[in-house]
Amino acid sequence: MTTAAHNNRLPLTALFGVLLGAAIMVAPLVWTLLLSLKSNSELMRDSSAAFSAPYTLENYRAILVGSDVPRWLLNSIIVSLGTTAAVLMLCSLAGYGFARLDFPFRRTLFVFVLLGLAIPEQAVILPRHQLFATLGWHNSYPGLILPGLAAPFGVFFMTQYFRAIPKDLDEAAMLDGASRLDVFWRILLPLTLPAQATLGVFTFLGSWNDYWWPLISATTSDKYTLTVGLAAAQMNYAQTSGLGFLMAQAVFASIPILIVYIIFQKQIVQAMAGAAVR
Amino acid sequence: MMERRVSGMVFVLPFIGLYCFLLILPFVMGLWISFHRADLFGSRHWVGLDNYVRLFADPVFYQAMGTTFTLAVLIVPALTLITLLLALALNRASRSAAIFRGLFFSSSVLSVTIVTLIWRFVLTPDSGLIAKLLTAMGIEPLPFLSDPNLTVPALAITTIWWGLGLPMMLFLAGLQQIPQDMYEAASLDGANRWTTFFRITLPSLRRTTILVIMLQTAAQLQIFGQAQLLTQGGPSGSSRPIVLYIYEVAFGRWELGYAIAAAEVLLLLILALMLAQYWLSTRGEEVQR
Amino acid sequence: MTSLSLIDVRKSYGATPVLDGVTLEMGDCEFIAFLGPSGSGKSTLLRIIAGLEMADSGEVWLEGKRIDALAPGGRGVALVFQQYALYPHMTVRENMAFGLRNAKVPNTEIAARITQAAQTLEIDQLLDRKPGQLSGGQRQRVAIGRAIVKEPKLFLLDEPLSNLDAALRNRTRVELAQLRQRVRAAVIMVTHDQAEAMTLADRIVVMNDRKIQQVGAPMEIYDRPANRFVARFVGSPAMTILPAQGHAASGGYAQVQLKNGTLIQTRVSTADLPDDGEIEIGLRPEHVTVTAPGSGTIDGEAVIVERLGDRTLVYARLDDGSEIVAVDRGDSSVRMGVRVGLQIDGACAHLFDADGTCHHAERDQL
The answer to whether residue C35 scores a pLDDT higher than 70 is yes
pLDDT of B84-114, one tens digit each? 999 999 998 888 888 999 999 999 899 999 9
How close, in Å, is residue B5 to chain C by CA atoms? Answer: 15
The answer to whether residue B62 scores a pLDDT higher than 90 is yes
Of the ranges A48-62, B163-177, B245-259, C9-23, which one carries the lowest mean pLDDT score? A48-62
The proportion of chain B whose per-residue pLDDT surpasses 70, expressed as a percent, equals: 97
For residue A81, count other CB atoms closer than 10 A to its CB.
Answer: 16
Task: Say which of C84, C87, C102 has its CB closest to residue A177.
Answer: C102
pLDDT of B140 reads 81
Whether B80 contacts B212, CB under 8 Å: yes
pLDDT of A1 reads 39
pLDDT of A20-35, one tens digit each? 999 999 999 999 999 8
The answer to whether residue B151 scores a pLDDT higher than 70 is yes
The answer to whether residue B1 scores a pLDDT higher than 60 is no
**Contacting B residues, span 2-31, partner chain C, CB-CB under 8 Å:** 3
Subunit contact C87:A187, Cβ cutoff 8 A: yes
For residue B86, count other CB atoms closer than 10 A to its CB.
Answer: 24
Name the CATH architecture for the domain at C240-365.
Answer: Beta Barrel (2.40)
pLDDT of A199-252, one tens digit each? 998 899 999 999 999 999 999 989 999 999 989 888 877 656 688 888 999 999
Whether B200 contacts B86, CB under 8 Å: no
Looking at per-residue pLDDT, the higher value among A273 and C129 belongs to C129
Write the DSSP symbol of residue A55: P
User: Does B184 reside within a domain?
Assistant: yes
The answer to whether residue B168 scores a pLDDT higher than 80 is yes
pLDDT of C181 reads 80
Number of domains chain B contains = 1
Subunit contact A190:C89, Cβ cutoff 8 A: yes
Tell me what the mean pLDDT of segment C237-264 comes to.
84
Bridge partners of residue C203, in order along the sequence: C32
The answer to whether residue A4 scores a pLDDT higher than 60 is no
Q: For testing the chain A interface, which of B9, B114, B222 should be mutated: the one with the most A CBs within 10 Å?
A: B114
B97: domain CATH number is 1.10.3720.10
Residue-number span of the structural domain to which B174 is assigned = 66-221
User: Does B179 reside within a domain?
Assistant: yes
Of the ranges A127-136, A170-179, B274-283, C27-36, which one carries the lowest mean pLDDT score? B274-283
Task: Say which of C73, C89, C146 has its CB closest to residue A174.
Answer: C73
For residue A101, count other CB atoms closer than 10 A to its CB.
Answer: 20
The answer to whether residue C227 scores a pLDDT higher than 90 is yes
pLDDT band at A2 (very low <50, low <70, confident <90, very high): very low
Task: Say which of A166, A174, A191 has its CB closest to residue C83.
Answer: A166
The proportion of chain A whose per-residue pLDDT surpasses 70, expressed as a percent, equals: 94
Tell me what the mean pLDDT of segment B157-174 comes to.
92
User: Does B10 reside within a domain?
Assistant: no
Q: What does pLDDT average to over chain B?
A: 88
pLDDT of B207 reads 87
pLDDT of B213 reads 92
The answer to whether residue A6 scores a pLDDT higher than 50 is no
B1 touches chain C (CB under 8 A): yes
Interface predicted TM-score of the whole assembly (ipTM), two decimals: 0.88
Bridge partners of residue C33, in order along the sequence: C189, C204
pLDDT band at C129 (very low <50, low <70, confident <90, very high): very high
User: Does B162 reside within a domain?
Assistant: yes
Q: Characterize the bridge pairing of strands C278-283 and C350-352.
A: antiparallel
pLDDT of B241 reads 94
Task: Say which of C74, C81, C146 has its CB closest to residue A168.
Answer: C81
The proportion of chain C whose per-residue pLDDT surpasses 70, expressed as a percent, equals: 98
C77 touches chain A (CB under 8 A): yes
pLDDT of A3 reads 43
Tell me what the mean pLDDT of segment C196-211 comes to.
92
pLDDT of B15-57, one tens digit each? 999 999 999 999 999 999 999 988 877 778 888 888 999 999 9
**What is the CATH T-level fold of the domain C2-226, as seen in this structure?**
Rossmann fold (3.40.50)
CATH 2.40.50.140 domain residues, chain C:
240-365
Cβ neighbours for A80, distance < 8 A, ≥ 6 positions apart: A204, A207, A208
Whether C225 contacts C358, CB under 8 Å: yes
pLDDT of B121 reads 87
pLDDT of B2 reads 53
